[in-house]
């Protein structure tokens, strides 16, 4: 073998080496879209032809049970990790970590602190660690360096960037010479107007219609780029919205001195951190203070909420009944809200999907938002990290061939993961041995043959 042939052989081996690491999987492309605060029943309040177009040609989940607390950051991180809030660590929009002695707050722009996000690996990192590219347009957490990585392409959060600009960037990334296979898109409405008006206000009709128009624009642009028929697109949200009233306010100042505690997260699920030595006094004062407020010690939070195994969850949690708000007094800012018990239908988001992997005109009664992550990983052809979601719960959303493959992968996942590990180990060992042999071969090809007339040169130097 000549030196040139040797280098060619090495290049081929290195090119195909990644394929020896794990089982080959079909690669798909996914666009995940979140319209913040889009309640599941908004599509029935006004004509929504673009939502109905996707439902007719794709799938529709009637009831998506999201995670407690039903707020923006916890649920957006659940969608991309498959974990309950207590596991992925983003337990609220406002958090305090007693170990770090640091606060996570949208109001004070401390949300980009990487330490708060690193209890989990979001899907864009998992996707990139398995050799692919991701692109994100304002999705919560994507402009944070998590475990040392950003998405391949991302936009720094800026609410003033238009929906059209966000779509344009994502399409550009999907169509580039080194295209992404995963795109994430976030839009702030109808959450913002839902807080101000309330979901039952007649003026919300125009807001919902505008979202439907934006969805129509997205579909139109994907069709222009010839992506519509090849891209798996999922339209969802983080939570719903409840109608509140100034007649339904619980004032903490009527029951406990505010100098005895700190309010970490706000209504309707209030995280309370008592001052040192004041826990019992604060808890006793609030425990039976109001018939529409349930107060828990951290250890007594119902297991079904999956909301106590984190140091960022405070010692006392006060939760209002639907439509009620917990404020320190009536002078505090009042808005319609979300954050209530995740079993309440008013807290549930929408989920519809369309693409080559999805069945057509299929309606499913229910799923958990934790199920979205394993579904995304399957569509992308990547191995998921352990999560609280289930592949089995979503296989009926897929066309039969994809569903069968999904069932096979679910049944063999443990063996596949083990085989992948063995493959990595053996593959790495083989490449290392090959490199040693290859280097030895090159060295011997470059050294002239030593004849018998120079035998003394070949003797050990220390030989007498």
| Tens-digit pLDDT string for the chain (464 aa) | 444 344 333 433 333 344 334 433 446 999 999 999 999 999 999 999 999 999 999 999 999 999 999 999 999 999 999 999 999 999 999 999 999 999 998 776 678 899 999 999 999 999 999 999 999 999 999 999 999 999 999 999 999 999 999 999 999 999 999 999 999 999 999 999 999 999 999 999 999 999 999 999 999 999 999 999 999 999 999 999 999 999 999 999 999 999 999 999 999 999 999 999 999 999 999 999 999 999 999 999 999 999 999 999 999 999 999 999 999 999 888 899 999 999 999 999 999 999 999 999 999 999 999 999 999 999 999 999 999 999 999 999 999 755 555 554 544 444 444 444 444 445 555 545 555 554 455 444 443 433 333 332 222 322 33
Helices (H), 95-190: 123-129, 163-175
Instruction: Give pLDDT, residue 404.
Output: 56
CA 250, 253, 258, 261 torsion-angle sign: negative
Bridge partners (DSSP) listed for residue 320: 293
Residues 6 or more apart whose CB falls under 8 angstroms from that of 293 comprise 250, 286, 318, 319, 320, 321, 324, 326
The neighbour count for residue 107, using CB atoms within 10 Å, is 10
Which of these is catalytic: 65, 70, 72, 236? 72
How many Å apart are CA 93 and CA 357, to the nearest integer? 34
Instruction: Give pLDDT, residue 77.
Output: 98
Domain 27-242+343-413 classified CATH 1.10.287.620?
no
The residue written with tokens 């799938």 in the block is 59
The residue written with tokens 């999987």 in the block is 25
Instruction: Give pLDDT, residue 2.
Output: 42
Contact 93, 107 (CB under 8 A): no
Please give the structure tokens belonging to residue 193: 């107007």
Contact 372, 82 (CB under 8 A): yes
Residues of the chain within CATH 3.40.720.10 domain(s) are 27-242+343-413
How many Å apart are CA 449 and CA 370, to the nearest integer? 67
Instruction: Give pLDDT, residue 412.
Output: 46
Residues of the chain within CATH 3.30.1360.180 domain(s) are 249-327
The neighbour count for residue 13, using CB atoms within 10 Å, is 15
Helices (H), 17-71: 49-57
Instruction: Please give the angle made by the CA atoms of 79, 117 and 87, to the nearest 5 degrees.
Output: 60
Q: Which residues of 126-244 form beta strands (DSSP E)?
A: 134-137, 153-154, 182-187, 232-236
Instruction: Give pLDDT, residue 164.
Output: 98
Instruction: Please give the angle made by the CA atoms of 354, 358 and 359, to the nearest 5 degrees.
Output: 105
How many Å apart are CA 31 and CA 179, to the nearest integer? 13
Domain 249-327 classified CATH 3.30.1360.180?
yes
Instruction: Give pLDDT, residue 12.
Output: 33
152 classed as catalytic: no
Q: 20 in the Ramachandran plot: left (φ > 0), alpha (ψ -120 to 50) or beta?
A: alpha
């Amino acid at each position: 073998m000549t030196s040139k042939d040797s280098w060619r052989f090495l290049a081929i081996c290195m090119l195909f080496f990644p394929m020896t690491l794990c089982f080959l999987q079909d690669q798909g492309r996914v666009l995940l879209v979140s319209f913040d605060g889009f309640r599941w029943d908004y599509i029935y309040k006004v004509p929504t032809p673009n939502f109905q177009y996707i439902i007719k040609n794709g799938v529709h989940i009637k009831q998506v049970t999201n995670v407690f607390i039903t707020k923006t950051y916890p649920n957006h991180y659940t969608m991309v990790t498959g974990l309950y809030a207590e596991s992925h660590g983003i337990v609220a929009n406002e958090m305090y970590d007693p170990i770090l002695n640091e606060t996570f707050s949208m109001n004070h722009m401390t949300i980009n602190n990487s330490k708060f996000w690193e209890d989990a690996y979001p899907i864009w990192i998992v996707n990139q660690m398995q050799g692919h590219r991701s692109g994100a347009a304002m999705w919560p957490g994507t402009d944070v360096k998590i475990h040392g990585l950003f998405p391949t392409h991302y936009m720094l959060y800026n609410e003033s960037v238009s929906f059209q600009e966000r779509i344009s960037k994502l399409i550009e990334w999907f169509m580039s010479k080194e295209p992404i296979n995963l795109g994430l898109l976030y839009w702030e409405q109808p959450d913002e107007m839902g807080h101000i008006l309330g979901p039952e206000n007649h003026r919300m009709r125009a807001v919902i219609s505008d979202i439907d128009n934006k969805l129509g624009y997205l579909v139109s642009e994907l069709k222009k780029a010839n992506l519509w028929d090849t891209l798996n697109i999922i339209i969802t949200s983080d939570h719903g919205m409840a109608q509140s009233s100034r007649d339904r306010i619980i004032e903490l100042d009527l029951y406990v001195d505010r100098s005895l505690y700190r309010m970490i997260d706000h209504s309707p699920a209030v995280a309370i951190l008592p001052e040192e030595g004041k826990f019992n006094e604060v808890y006793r004062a609030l425990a039976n203070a109001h018939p529409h407020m349930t107060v828990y010690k951290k250890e007594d939070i119902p297991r079904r909420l999956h909301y106590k195994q984190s140091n960022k969850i405070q010692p006392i949690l006060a939760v209002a009944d639907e439509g009620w708000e917990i404020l320190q007094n009536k002078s505090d800012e009042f808005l319609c809200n979300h954050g209530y018990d995740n079993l309440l239908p008013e807290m549930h988001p929408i989920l519809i999907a369309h693409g080559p992997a999805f069945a057509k005109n299929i309606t499913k009664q229910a799923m958990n938002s934790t199920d979205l992550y394993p579904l995304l990983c399957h569509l992308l052809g990547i191995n998921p990290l352990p999560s609280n979601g289930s592949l089995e719960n979503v296989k009926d959303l897929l066309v039969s061939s994809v569903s069968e493959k999904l069932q096979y992968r679910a049944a063999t996942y443990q063996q596949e993961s083990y085989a992948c590990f063995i493959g990595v180990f053996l593959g790495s060992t083989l490449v290392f041995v090959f490199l040693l042999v290859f280097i030895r071969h090159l060295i011997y090809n470059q050294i002239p043959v030593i004849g018998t007339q120079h035998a003394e040169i070949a003797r050990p130097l220390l030989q007498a």
